[in-house]
Amino acid sequence: GVTNLVSLLNYRASLFLVEHFHGLASVGTYSVAIQVAELLWLVSSAVTMSLYARIGAPDRAQAAFDTLRAVRFNVLVTVVAAPVLWALAAWAVPWVMGEAYTASLLPLAALLPGVAAYAAASSLSAFYTNHLGRPHLSGMVAGLSLGVSVLAGWWLIPAWGSLGAAVASTTGYLLAIVVGTHLFLREAGLPWQALWRQA
């Protein structure tokens, strides 16, 4: 439960900072950027759920193999889909919501790299929780992302507004996923090369 709360705060803390420094109008446009960016996680969540039981297998090698497959697929799909999603948003958001919401497109562009990389988090979390029985590792990764994004946001948002929030969030996501991947590889007894070598 605490892990889920930290994860939720991780995804939404930047909104509170934007509201604090720039008011509700900026929150409105930035929240659109967040909602659109997080569409990328629909695929990664579905993939992780479909492999959840296999990732939780008692056999460490099998669990690690399935986790790696899910991580690779999730990150590859989201990296490929991110520019397509941005192009669709550039057309659809002003048309559906009005020209004022074009202000969400630049923060969206800054959010997408971090959101794409963080697509690995759901599979890694399944490994920590369902295989290792250590959900606090997921909480630590989400807490690191939250801490980095809040600290960076406190520095960037006053000057850059929603763009600063997006850059801060992406920084938090990227750093946290590197640490989360390190934890997974350490627990699985795998080298970093395992991320890109099929064998």
pLDDT digits (tens, 9 = 90+) for 94-147: 999 999 999 999 999 999 999 999 999 999 999 999 999 998 899 999 999 999
What are the backbone dihedrals phi and psi of residue 196, each rounded to the nearest 5 degrees, phi first? -120, 0
pLDDT-based confidence at residue 68 (cuts at 50, 70, 90):
very high
What pLDDT, on the 0 to 100 scale, is given for residue 9? Answer: 82
Written as one letter, the residue type at 153 is G
The answer to whether 157 and 22 have CB atoms below 8 angstroms apart is: yes
**Binning pLDDT at 50, 70 and 90, where does residue 165 land?**
very high
HEC sequence for the chain: CHHHHHHHHHHHHHHHHHHHHHCHHHHHHHHHHHHHHHHHHHHHHHHHHHHHHHHCCCCHHHHHHHHHHHHHHHHHHHHHHHHHHHHHHHHHHHHHHCHHHHHHHHHHHHHHHHHHHHHHHHHHHHHHHHHCCCCHHHHHHHHHHHHHHHHHHHHHHHHHCHHHHHHHHHHHHHHHHHHHHHHHHHHHCCCHHHHCCCC
Can you tell me the distance from the alpha carbon of 84 to that of 167, in angstroms, rounded to the nearest whole number?
20
pLDDT over threshold 60, residue 148: yes
Q: Cα separation of 84 and 78, whole Å?
A: 10
Mean pLDDT of 153-168: 96
> What pLDDT does residue 195 have?
87
Q: For residue 14, is pLDDT > 60?
A: yes
Res. 82 pLDDT band, cuts 50 70 90? very high
Average pLDDT, the chain: 92
| pTM score | 0.92
Distance spanning both ends of the chain, measured CA to CA: 36
Region 38-45 average pLDDT: 91
